[in-house]
Amino acid sequence: MPKKTVYQASIEYVSILDENAEFDESLGKGLIADEVVVDSYERMAVCRHLDEVAFKLQRSGRMGTYPQNKGQEAAAVGTALSLRPGRDWVVPCYRENAALFMMGLPMHYILLYWMGDERGSQIPENVKMTPLSVPIGTHMLHAAGIGYAEKIRKTDNVVATYFGDGATSEGDFHEAMNFASVLQTPTIFVNQNNSWAISVPRSKQMHSETVAQKALAYGMPTIRCDGNDIFAVKYCMDEAVKRARSGGGPSFIECVTYRLGDHTTADDARRYRDPKEVEAWLARDPLIRTRKYLEARKLWDDDKETTLKERAKKIVKEVVATAEGIDKPDVASIFDAMYANIPEEVRLQRDTMRTSSLGKYPEQVGLKGTTQRV
């Protein structure tokens, strides 16, 4: 039999608002209302200031290691604009703070998490979100599972999960993609491709020309976009959400972006990144780009920028005060948070703060006689 082509594919790249604030009306007109663009810019600016303050908190010993979101805010905001707080799920990594806040997470929870306070992981009941995930790639399995649960319940709720380019080299990623595709779960895989898996460049940890093409192996609709363009991100997310809500299964979105800071406060990116590369991406900053768009349409000016900066300072100051001023947790809370109906032997451990036989039988403390129960 002669040879024949059994599979061909192409991947679209979407850009609507470029780094020079040139706007493609054919794709972007009416996509995001002016007042929503203004609100989105303000949200990104507040998160940027939170990043700056969090960095100082870590450096002054008031907080543990922290991963800055600086430079990747548009991917978070653009995707969250397509989601419904309180109904749709977000399964995060740790570099999409703006999306989490838009979905209803109180801002101080992020600081509590990085301060080592487990209450930062106790997500409020009305917020459809899992805790932050530091292990690379493991959370995507949960996103696929939650999506399957929503499908079984016959809701139109969708699940968005975020991860970096390095996570797509993990086995968990491939298992989650396969599960979601085979079972057609309403899961949207949002890849924030910032070109670096900590200190490893994308060129050294994958051979594919794009990250998006990895979804082709699973028969999953996939697209690539300018991740620093909130319009392009929302355009792609709208399509994925529409597909998921209508029963069309999962989607993959590659948001090409860049982290302008170090991987975390425990990292020094100057040791492995070319300063010229960083300088080039500074010019593509999503905040600068969005502000240029607003200014061109007479929706923003220097006075509004000054007011926003003062507002951001006030908000973040209150967030820090809330996180640092929270009462110390009751030691017993670890038991109360673990069980809906606490077992008797665990209740004894909680009440006596002792484990094993001493917890069960506190009367044997001191072993005053040979008749003591052991």
Give pLDDT tens digits along the chain (374 positions): 689 999 999 999 999 999 999 999 999 999 999 999 999 999 999 999 999 999 999 999 999 999 999 999 999 999 999 999 999 999 999 999 999 999 999 999 999 999 999 999 999 999 999 999 999 999 999 999 999 999 999 999 999 999 999 999 999 999 999 999 999 999 999 999 999 999 999 999 999 999 999 999 999 999 999 999 999 999 999 999 999 999 999 999 999 999 999 999 999 999 999 999 999 999 999 999 999 999 999 999 999 999 999 999 999 999 999 999 999 988 888 888 788 898 888 888 888 887 765 545 556 555 555 454 44
Q: Which of 49, 202, 259, 291 is catalytic?
A: 259
Q: Which residues are paired to 226 by β-bridges? A: 256
| Residue type for position 78 | G
The pLDDT score that the predictor gives to residue 360 is: 53
Ranges assigned E (strand) in 159-243: 159-164, 187-193, 196-197, 200-201, 222-226
| Residue type for position 214 | K
Helix, strand, or coil here: 240?
Answer: helix
Q: Which two tokens stand for residue 144?
A: 């696929």
Contact 169, 205 (CB under 8 A): yes
Q: How many CB atoms lie within 10 A of CB 50?
A: 23
Q: Which of 13, 272, 297, 339 is catalytic?
A: 272
Helix, strand, or coil here: 266?
Answer: coil
119 carries an active-site annotation: no
272 carries an active-site annotation: yes
Nearest Cα residue to 81 out of 240, 314, 313: 240
Strands 200-201 and 196-197: antiparallel
Q: Which of 43, 48, 224, 263 is catalytic?
A: 263
What is the distance between the terminal CA atoms of the chain, rounded to a whole angstrom? 80
Q: Which two tokens stand for residue 147?
A: 């999506």
Helix, strand, or coil here: 277?
Answer: helix
- Rounded to two decimals, the pTM is 0.91
Side-chain-side CA neighbours of 192 within 13 Å: the count stands at 30
Using the structure block, give the residue that is written with the tokens 């028969």: 219
Q: What kind and span of H or E run contains 222?
A: strand 222-226
263 carries an active-site annotation: yes
Helices (H), 192-332: 202-205, 230-245, 275-282, 286-296, 302-325
The pLDDT score that the predictor gives to residue 372 is: 45
Q: Return d(Cα 152, Cα 299) in angstroms, integer.
A: 45
For helices 34-59 and 302-325, give the axis angle rounded to 10 degrees. Answer: 50
Domains recognised in the chain with CATH numbers: 13-325 (3.40.50.970), 333-364 (no CATH)
